[in-house]
Structures are given as structure tokens and as C-alpha cells.
Amino acid sequence: MTLPPGQRAIDGFPRFGTHLHHPPPPIPADPVIEVGGALTEPFTLTTADLAELPRVEVKADFHCVAGWSATDLRWEGVPFATLYRTRVEPLLAPGRPISHVVFAGLDGYQSVALLEDALADDVLIADRLDGQPLTSDHGAPIRLVSPGQYGFVNTKHLCRIEFHTTQPIDPDKWSPLAAHRRARVWAEERHRYLPGRVVRPIYHALIGPIRRMSARGSTERTA
């Protein structure tokens, strides 16, 4: 098994991420994704709308920027590219090409991807993992899955997708730890300014503590 540079395989798939000890947000009775931004009109995507789109299965490893990888996950959902071609492209204003996409979660989390990265074949609006509906720990009811990019792009509890014609406002712009704008795992694009190799040892030291804190908010209450 080959992993991207600086990654180590771990057992299982812990709940991870920046929410640390916060419990995941409750699952809405009728989940929807608001779709808006630089479109001629915004729209709301219901689970019934999503169910009408063709589904695929993607087998992939999942790589956190902190250096651990969960291996052999089987995600199911709708390809982001299919959603884009069928529902978004017809609403684009002439002469206003989309460059960036913002993905927001019910917990207030946001990630930004370049449109070209979001259109990769393996990027999914996912609602199942390993044959089961997503659990709250892993992003219920619906999450973004972009296996070629670090975990932080993979917004869980997805409730809003926004299309932009320029780089959206970036509060981390001057932070030395600003996230890489592309975050491609095989190029080790962890951070915007610091080379991936430099931050590896710091992150590896933090995996244990982050994992323990994150588990405290987990619905499975492991570790």
C-alpha cells in the first residue's frame, strides 16, 4: 500500500478535525443543501433531488493534514461534477466563470476548493460510508469527500455550497499556518507558505492529543 508523502496509516477511522471536543450538530429532519453565489438564481437541493442524480461508489484512503491516513474507505454518493453539470451550469451568468467553491457545514465549518479540484472524478457529495448511512461522527447527513485533498477540504454536515468568480475572502490570509489553497495530498500541499516536510514532525506529535480531544465529542465515545 502506498500512501502520499509524510502520511502514516492508522487503524480504523477516528472522528477527527477541527471541532475537537464539540459534539457533532444534530441531523435535521429534512436535510437540504442551499446552493448559491454567482448563479442567476440560488436553489435548494433536497435529499429527494439528490436521489434523482446518478450515484457512484468511490474506494479511497482519507488523509488528514496532521499526517494520519484512514485506509480503504468505501464512500457512496453523487459525484460533485454531476451536480455541477446538471444543476449549476444551467444557472451560470454568461462571462462570469466560476473559479472557487465554498462548502459550509451545519457546525459553521467552511472549506474552499478551486472549481477544477472539486470537479475531479472522485469528489462526492457523500451520504454513505462502508455500506451504512454516514454517522454523525463522520459528517451526517451529507458530507463532501475529496480523497485527493487533505481532510480539511472534506466539509462534513454539508448545508451550503457557494460558487464564486474570485478567491473568496480569506481570514487566514496572513497566518503562517494558512491552509494550502489546493491541498493536494500527493503534492504534500499542507500549507500555503510552509513546506509540508517542515510541519510534518509538529503534526505527528499532535495526532494523539487531537485524537483524544476529538473523541470526547464523538457520539461513539471511543478512546
Ligand X SMILES: Nc1nc2c(c(=O)[nH]1)N[C@H]1C(S)=C(S)[C@@H](COP(=O)(O)O)O[C@H]1N2
Closer to ligand X at the Cβ: 83 or 104? 104
Q: Is 122 among the residues that bind ligand X (CB under 6 A)?
A: no
Q: Shortest approach of ligand X to residue 65 CB, angstroms?
A: 7
Q: Is 16 among the residues that bind ligand X (CB under 6 A)?
A: yes
Query: What amino acid is encoded at 98 in this protein?
Result: I
Distance of CA 6 to the CA centre of its chain: 20
Which residue, among 134, 115, 114, has the nearest Cα to 62 in the 3D structure? Answer: 134
Q: Grid coordinates standing for 156? A: 462534513
**Maximum distance among all Cα pairs of the chain, rounded to whole angstroms:** 52
Each residue 91-120 as x (binds ligand X by CB under 6 A) or -, in order, gives --------------x-x-x-----------
The piece of 9-17, 50-58, 120-128, 199-207 that touches ligand X (CB under 6 A) is: 9-17
Looking at 7, 15, 112, 124, which residue binds ligand X (CB under 6 A)? 15
**Partner that binds at residue 191, options Mo ion, ligand X, none, CB closer than 5 to 8 Å by kind:** none
Q: Is 160 among the residues that bind ligand X (CB under 6 A)?
A: no
Binding region for ligand X (CB under 6 A): 15-19, 64, 105, 107, 109, 138-139, 151-152, 154-157
